[in-house]
């Protein structure tokens, strides 16, 4: 009998501990949820403030059905048909905004170099490396470098939502993404560029200079700041557009090429001079001139050529800068000498931008080049 009572007591004790444990979990969760709620409230307040400064008021852009009447339309590749159906669309709702990136339009002159990096939603790893290397937001030589990634959306349905969520999570941590709700594709890069310029006019019109480029280039941003500071007019109020100059080219009529432009998209056989889209430097003034010109120029899907068209319309020229190597760098006798070291920072020390660099090499090179004791031969 005593034995039974002792067993019951023991059981009650164990049960009690168990219930206590459950309670604790419940309370912990409650506190956690409370913190989440407070954070959520703060976010909503922030969004309310943002909403006050910018209200999207365009109706959804409709497909231009008459595009299908263009001669030979049915014979064009699918992505070109898509392009022609939506060529006229220039406004898309924002999914992620950064109205305070430059401290507001009034204070935006304090941004010396704004890094504007085209990045597709799935390229998380590229963004992560850039944040840690050349695109780090920082004060260099007494002036501010700021960073934005510009993005559209990828895929549809669940997969699209998943990628949007990824960007949202990144935004919460880094505050460096501008995203619009349009399909992020190669032939929509000009659209992305125009949407960025529209954002800039609203939120960062007085940034001194911009580096406009892709997320797979190595940009020596310290060298860029020093180069720009050394210019006679270094407040961004004069024309500057510099990069890897490409002149005397015309549309690629080869159907298999990524750059294929049929006569249905552009009749003329020539392109104006332009700078390779991997990366180029421009002044805030020139960016705003380009935006103004773009309003009256039909979209051409090749974004760097389109920038050249806008410059030409404003009677401005793009300039060649030897520091830009958007076709990569030909290393000395790389084909003959096996021992040439692709990781030797001395090849890159004096350059401004090189295509194409990915994670490990990017991380390694940035650290090598940031080493003040780096010694190179003549
Ligand atoms: C062009 O397309 C529109 C809309 O689909 C149609 O109504 C019209 O008849 C077409 N015009 C010609 C010339 O084929
Ligand atoms: C629709 O496409 C036709 C054929 O290319 C073109 O003439 C017309 O201007 C386009 N409409 C709009 C709104 O862009
Ligand atoms: C560009 O984006 C719009 C909006 O998402 C889409 O309808 C269109 O098909 C896209 N164009 C291309 C060439 O991807
Ligand atoms: C662009 O256009 C706007 C309005 O039309 C004008 O106020 C502004 O001065 C122009 N900017 C440049 C750099 O030409």
| Ligand 2 binding pocket mutation candidate from 67, 70, 265 (most atoms within 8 A of CB) | 67
| Ligand 1 binding pocket mutation candidate from 66, 71, 85 (most atoms within 8 A of CB) | 66
Atom 6 of ligand 4, nearest CA residue = 292
Strand positions, DSSP E, 101-216: 111-118, 138-140, 143-153, 177-183, 209-214
- Dist. CA 302–CA 295, nearest whole Å: 17
Both structure tokens of 354: 């090189």
pLDDT for residue 99: 97
For residue 96, what are the β-bridge partners?
Answer: 179
Can you state the percent helix, strand and coil of the chain, rounding each to 5? 45, 15, 40
Residue pair 283/239 in contact (Cβ under 8 Å)? The answer is yes
- Dist. CA 326–CA 119, nearest whole Å: 17
* Distance from Cα 361 to the centre of ligand 3, integer Å: 33
- For 232-255, the DSSP string reads SS-SS-S--EEESEE-S---B--T
Q: How many angstroms separate the Cα of 135 from the Cα of each of 108, 120, 139, 176? A: 18, 16, 12, 11
Q: 3-state DSSP call for residue 58?
A: coil
pTM, whole model, 2 decimals?
0.85
The finding on whether 1 has its CB within 6 A of some atom of ligand 1 is no
Across 7-35, b (16+ Cβ under 10 Å) vs e yields eeeeeeeeeeeeeeeeeeeeeeeeeeeee
Both structure tokens of 65: 């059905």
The finding on whether 79 has its CB within 6 A of some atom of ligand 3 is yes
- Dist. CA 91–CA 6, nearest whole Å: 77
Residue (of 140, 58, 61, 50) closest to 101 by Cα position: 50
* Distance from Cα 87 to the centre of ligand 2, integer Å: 9
* Distance from Cα 266 to the centre of ligand 3, integer Å: 18
pLDDT for residue 359: 87
Domain limits, the chain: 94-325
* Distance from Cα 355 to the centre of ligand 3, integer Å: 26
Find how far residue 316's CA is from the centre of its chain: 25
pLDDT for residue 334: 46
| Ligand 4 binding pocket mutation candidate from 105, 287, 288 (most atoms within 8 A of CB) | 288
* Distance from Cα 39 to the centre of ligand 3, integer Å: 35
Mean pLDDT by 10-residue block, N- to C-terminus, for the chain (378 residues)? 58 54 50 55 57 81 98 98 98 98 97 98 98 98 98 98 98 98 98 98 98 96 96 96 97 97 98 97 98 98 98 98 84 53 82 90 93 84
pLDDT for residue 349: 86
The finding on whether 289 has its CB within 6 A of some atom of ligand 4 is yes
Give the ligand 2 atom nearest the CA of 87. Answer: 14
Residue with the two structure tokens 């919460």: 172
Maximum C-alpha span of the chain: 105
* Distance from Cα 89 to the centre of ligand 3, integer Å: 9
Fold of 94-325: Spore Coat Polysaccharide Biosynthesis Protein SpsA; Chain A (3.90.550)
pLDDT for residue 253: 98
């Amino acid at each position: 009998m005593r034995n039974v009572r002792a067993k019951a007591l023991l059981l009650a004790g164990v049960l009690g501990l168990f219930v206590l444990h459950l309670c604790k979990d419940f309370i912990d969760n409650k506190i956690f949820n409370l913190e989440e709620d407070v954070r959520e409230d703060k976010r909503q307040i922030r969004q309310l403030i943002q909403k006050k400064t910018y209200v999207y008021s365009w109706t959804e852009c409709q497909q231009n059905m008459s595009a299908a009447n263009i001669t030979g339309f049915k014979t064009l590749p699918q992505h070109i048909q898509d392009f022609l159906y939506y060529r006229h669309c220039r406004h898309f709702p924002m999914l992620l905004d950064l109205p305070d990136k430059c401290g507001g339009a009034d204070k935006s002159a304090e941004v010396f170099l704004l890094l504007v990096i085209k990045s597709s939603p799935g390229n998380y790893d590229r963004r992560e490396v850039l944040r840690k290397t050349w695109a780090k937001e920082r004060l260099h030589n007494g002036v501010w470098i700021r960073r934005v990634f510009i993005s559209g959306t990828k895929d549809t349905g669940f997969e699209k939502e998943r990628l949007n969520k990824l960007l949202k999570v990144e935004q919460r941590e880094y505050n460096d993404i501008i995203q619009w709700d349009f399909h992020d594709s190669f032939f929509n890069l000009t659209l992305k560029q125009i949407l960025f310029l529209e954002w800039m006019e609203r939120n960062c019109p007085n940034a001194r200079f911009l580096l406009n480029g892709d997320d797979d280039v190595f940009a020596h941003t310290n060298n860029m700041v020093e180069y720009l500071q050394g210019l006679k007019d270094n407040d961004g109020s004069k024309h500057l557009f510099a990069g890897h100059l490409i002149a005397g080219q015309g549309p690629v009529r080869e159907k298999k090429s990524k750059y294929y432009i049929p006569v249905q998209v552009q009749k003329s056989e020539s392109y104006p001079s332009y700078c390779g889209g991997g990366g180029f430097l421009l002044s805030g003034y020139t960016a705003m001139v380009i935006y103004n010109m773009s309003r009256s120029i039909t979209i051409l899907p090749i974004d760097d050529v389109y920038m050249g068209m806008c410059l030409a319309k404003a009677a401005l020229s793009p300039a060649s800068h030897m520091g830009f190597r958007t076709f990569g760098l030909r290393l000395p006798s790389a084909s003959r000498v096996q021992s040439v070291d692709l990781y030797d920072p001395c090849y890159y020390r004096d350059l401004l931008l090189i295509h194409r660099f990915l994670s490990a090499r990017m991380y390694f090179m940035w650290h090598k080049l940031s080493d003040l004791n780096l010694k190179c031969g003549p």
